[in-house]
Amino acid sequence: MEEEKQEKRQTKPIRCIVKLGGAAITCKSELEKINEENLKIVSSQLRQAMVLGQSPSTKVLGMDWSKRHGRSEVSCSVDDFGYDAIIDSSRFIVVHGAGSFGHFQACKSGVHKGGLDQPLVKAGFVATRISVTALNLEIVRALAREGIASVGMSPFSCGWSTCERNIASADLSIVAKAIDSGFIPVLHGDAVFDGLQGCTILSGDVIIRHLAEQLKPEYVVFLTDVLGVYDRPPVDPNAVLLREIAVREDGNWSVVKPVLQNSNKVETTVAAHDTTGGMSTKITEAAMIARLGIDVYIVKAATSHSLMALSGELRSNIPDDWLGTLIRFVS
């Protein structure tokens, strides 16, 4: 009961929850390597989407005042920050996946299967959290350089836990306080305690679903490394991009556009090192969000299509040339 009271303290409405897919912001084939170009574009697009009524030529007031690798000086223009200098951005929450960070460590040690009494699992738990929190810091820094007042929040450190890999405890009071104070919370997939098996991996997709249930954003955007959801792995030359998926009250879903012979058949694959379920989990969680009456857009990161989704342009009309997947509730 106390947890429910804490979760309802947030008073300002959420405009959008964004999932930065691990494959979109890291190089998944190279251990702990960030896709710098994509992350920079995504951060810039988030800034454009968050700030309403601002001219593109407005000076960006960077907030990363720490020393960057390869540079000898710290960039900090204190005089630029007058009382009216910080632009009030509309309210977003960012959640990111791990990509080439964390998955390797979790898979090698079996953290997702539990067993903290085993030395290897305990070591893997530590190693996984070192890796995912390192990525979280770099994403927060990238957003801060775009003038976005972002703050990293690790689910483990905030007291999130699971039971049988389902969320058992998730106090959102800190997230709500950050939003009400004008910050953009940046959460991530994390290693957490599990009431039944000791520990597990809590995926970013599951985190987003819980946030959507509790905070009711206007829309949700998943940024991925492909254009959207396909009827089969996108590397298949015959793969078809699914433009719209309808979710019904009972949780069942079907493909609306394009018309397929079997509108419920979607083949998905999961990389060997992925401990969170890959695209299969993403579709399942997106469908659960859509059941709440919240439109979900799955779209390729760092493209004109992703900018349209982030900015909310698609909520009133989806142009024929927009490439991505819309998942929405139908009564």
Where is average pLDDT lowest: 5-9, 180-184, 212-216, 246-250?
5-9
Amino acid letter for position 283? I
Where is average pLDDT lowest: 10-19, 182-191, 200-209, 254-263?
254-263
The pLDDT assigned to 66 comes to 85
The pLDDT assigned to 276 comes to 42
Pairing of strands 295-300, 219-224: parallel
Asked if pLDDT for residue 39 goes beyond 50, the answer is: yes
Asked if pLDDT for residue 31 goes beyond 90, the answer is: yes
Asked if pLDDT for residue 136 goes beyond 80, the answer is: yes
Where is average pLDDT lowest: 2-6, 26-30, 252-256, 307-311?
2-6
Give, as one character, the DSSP assignment of residue 198.
Answer: E
Q: How confident is the model at residue 60 (pLDDT cuts 50, 70, 90)?
A: confident
Encoded tokens for 319: 């142009």
Give, as one character, the DSSP assignment of residue 199.
Answer: E
Helix axes 36-50, 304-311, angle to 10 degrees: 30
Pairing of strands 295-300, 325-329: antiparallel
The pLDDT assigned to 113 comes to 94
Query: Model pTM?
Result: 0.89
Q: Per-residue pLDDT averaged across 123-151, rounded? A: 96
The pLDDT assigned to 75 comes to 65
Amino acid letter for position 114? G
CATH topology of domain 13-50+88-217: Carbamate kinase (3.40.1160)
Q: Cα separation of 218 and 236, whole Å?
A: 34
Q: Per-residue pLDDT averaged across 159-167, rounded? A: 92
Q: Per-residue pLDDT averaged across 13-18, rounded? A: 95
98 is in an annotated binding site: yes
Every domain of the chain with CATH number 3.40.1160.10 lies at 13-50+88-217
123 is in an annotated binding site: no
102 is in an annotated binding site: no
The pLDDT assigned to 251 comes to 82
Asked if pLDDT for residue 10 goes beyond 80, the answer is: no
The pLDDT assigned to 291 comes to 95
99 is in an annotated binding site: yes
The pLDDT assigned to 197 comes to 96
293 is in an annotated binding site: no
Alpha carbon of residue 92 to chain centroid: 11
Q: With 0-12 CB in 10 A as exposed, 13-18 as middle and 19+ as buried, what is 284?
A: middle
Asked if pLDDT for residue 120 goes beyond 80, the answer is: yes
Contact 167, 160 (CB under 8 A): yes
Question: Which residues fall within 8 angstroms of residue 188, CB to CB, at 6 or more apart?
Answer: 95, 96, 97, 98, 132, 133, 135, 136, 139, 152, 154, 155, 204, 207
Q: How confident is the model at residue 277 (pLDDT cuts 50, 70, 90)?
A: very low
| Mean pLDDT across the chain | 86
Question: Which residues fall within 8 angstroms of residue 245, CB to CB, at 6 or more apart?
Answer: 229, 253, 254, 255, 256, 283, 287, 290, 325, 326, 327, 328
Q: Whose CA is closest to 96, among 37, 52, 149, 140?
A: 140
